[in-house]
């Protein structure tokens, strides 16, 4: 009898150990390429804690102290197993997927990041999620969001308010949508990522900027550079992103755990990120004003010129979207209507 009791206790202990192994927490290591001081951390790091709570510890989320891969290589690094989840700028996904591109088309959003982020997530989820465009990349999209929209700045003694004004000075344009619009408008310029603006503003190689947020001016160009900022009623480009995780990691979760993760991802994370981006932009608006930078509204004539220059990008994306079986025109109408509704 004594031997039977000991055997039963051993068996029970063994089964408990097996059960514990079977329910060991899944660990996600996340990468934030803009760096640990960027405002995006104020939404994704709390999200990590919310995932732990929502899954009751089934998923543990850790963040790397510094970026472990260049900005364009976030998906490749996930596939390679360098880390499990990350943020990706959709300027780097245009050859991988059509769907996310609508968020960065010219003049879709006045620049409010919270409204834009919620509309972006809802519109992409409704029209493109089922297309599984990222399936071959072995990632799962957890959320989509936007930052504040970009506008125009100049160090000249009068604000930019026409294409002719830009042709009369040396211009820098944010690579991608902004640069393509400038090229279509016939404006000679140099282009690159926001992080490289200082190379041109500090050396006074340029006088004008096409495609910068107030935050971009404060952080990269320097508040001493511009005298004027010109703001269109809708932004020439809104930086758009996805928060993603390894599909291998995602597929290993139970249906219940997946549901728990998504309960704190999707629209909730989109709204939180957009709200923080707006707060950051508002803080830098005050900083620019204190530095004496004057803001003006773009004239209707200037906006009409810009829209004409941007039209090829818009029609080109619509054609691409139609090509994968999603009416691009309907998507843009739905997105625009959603932005208006959220702003009313």
Taking only the tens place, the pLDDT of each residue in 229-286 is 999 999 999 999 999 999 999 999 999 999 999 999 999 999 999 999 999 999 999 9
pTM above 0.85, yes or no: yes
Regarding whether 143 and 59 lie in a shared domain, the answer is yes
Asked if residue 138 belongs to a domain, the reply is yes
Residue with tokens 């799962």: 140
- What is the count of structural domains for the chain? 2
Q: Kind and range of the H or E element at 94?
A: none
Render pLDDT for 271-281 as a digit per residue (tens, 0 to 9): 999 999 999 99
Instruction: Quote the pLDDT of residue 2.
Output: 44
Asked if residue 72 belongs to a domain, the reply is yes
Give the model's confidence band at 23: pLDDT under 50 very low, under 70 low, under 90 confident, else very high: low
The 10 Å Cβ neighbour count of residue 134 is 22
Beta bridge mates, 209? 153, 172
Regarding whether 230 and 318 lie in a shared domain, the answer is yes
What average pLDDT is seen over the chain? 92
Task: Give SS3 for 237.
Answer: coil
Regarding whether 181 and 43 lie in a shared domain, the answer is no
Regarding whether 123 and 101 lie in a shared domain, the answer is yes
Give me the phi and psi of 29, to 5 degrees please. Answer: -105, 125
Instruction: Quote the pLDDT of residue 10.
Output: 41
Regarding whether 248 and 230 lie in a shared domain, the answer is no
The 10 Å Cβ neighbour count of residue 211 is 29
Give the model's confidence band at 109: pLDDT under 50 very low, under 70 low, under 90 confident, else very high: confident
Under 8 Å between Cβ of 270 and 47: no
Under 8 Å between Cβ of 66 and 30: no
Asked if residue 328 belongs to a domain, the reply is yes
Give the model's confidence band at 15: pLDDT under 50 very low, under 70 low, under 90 confident, else very high: very low
C-alpha Rg value of the chain to the nearest Å: 23
Task: Give Cα separations from 102 to 48, 64, 193, 207 (angstroms).
Answer: 28, 31, 20, 30
Regarding whether 60 and 156 lie in a shared domain, the answer is no
Asked if residue 109 belongs to a domain, the reply is yes
Q: Looking at the predicted structure, is the pLDDT value of residue 288 above 70?
A: yes
What's the domain range around 309?
151-236+301-343
Report the CATH number that the domain containing residue 311 is assigned in CATH.
Answer: 3.40.190.170
């Amino acid at each position: 009898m004594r031997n039977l009791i000991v055997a039963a206790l051993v068996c029970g202990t063994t089964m408990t150990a097996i059960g514990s192994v079977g329910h060991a927490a899944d660990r996600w290591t996340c990468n934030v390429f803009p760096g640990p001081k960027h405002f995006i951390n104020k939404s994704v790091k709390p999200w990590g804690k919310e995932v732990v709570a929502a899954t009751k510890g089934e998923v543990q989320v850790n963040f790397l102290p510094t970026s472990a891969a260049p900005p364009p290589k976030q998906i490749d690094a996930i596939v390679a197993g360098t880390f499990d989840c990350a943020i990706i700028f959709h300027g780097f996904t245009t050859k991988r997927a059509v769907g996310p591109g609508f968020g960065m088309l010219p003049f879709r959003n006045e620049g409010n990041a919270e409204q834009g982020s919620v509309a972006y997530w809802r519109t992409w989820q409704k029209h493109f999620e089922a297309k599984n465009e990222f399936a071959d990349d072995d990632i799962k999209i957890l959320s989509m969001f936007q930052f504040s929209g970009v506008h125009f700045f100049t160090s000249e003694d009068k604000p930019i308010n026409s294409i002719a004004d830009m042709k009369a000075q040396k211009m820098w344009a944010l690579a991608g949508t902004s640069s393509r619009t400038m090229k279509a408008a016939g404006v000679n310029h140099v282009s690159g990522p926001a992080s490289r603006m200082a190379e041109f503003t500090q050396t006074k190689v340029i006088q004008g900027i096409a495609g910068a947020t107030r935050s971009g001016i404060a952080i990269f160009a320097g508040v001493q550079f511009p005298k004027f900022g010109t703001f269109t009623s809708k932004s020439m480009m809104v930086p758009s992103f996805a928060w993603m995780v390894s599909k291998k990691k995602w597929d290993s979760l139970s249906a219940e755990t997946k549901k728990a993760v998504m309960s704190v991802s999707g629209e909730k994370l989109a709204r939180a990120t957009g709200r923080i981006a707006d707060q950051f932009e508002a803080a830098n608006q005050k900083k620019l004003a204190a530095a004496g930078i004057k803001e003006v509204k773009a004239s209707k004539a200037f906006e009409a010129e810009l829209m004409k220059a941007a039209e090829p990008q818009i029609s080109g994306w619509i054609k691409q979207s139609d090509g994968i079986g999603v009416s691009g025109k309907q998507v843009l109408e739905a997105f625009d209507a959603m932005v208006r509704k959220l702003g009313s």
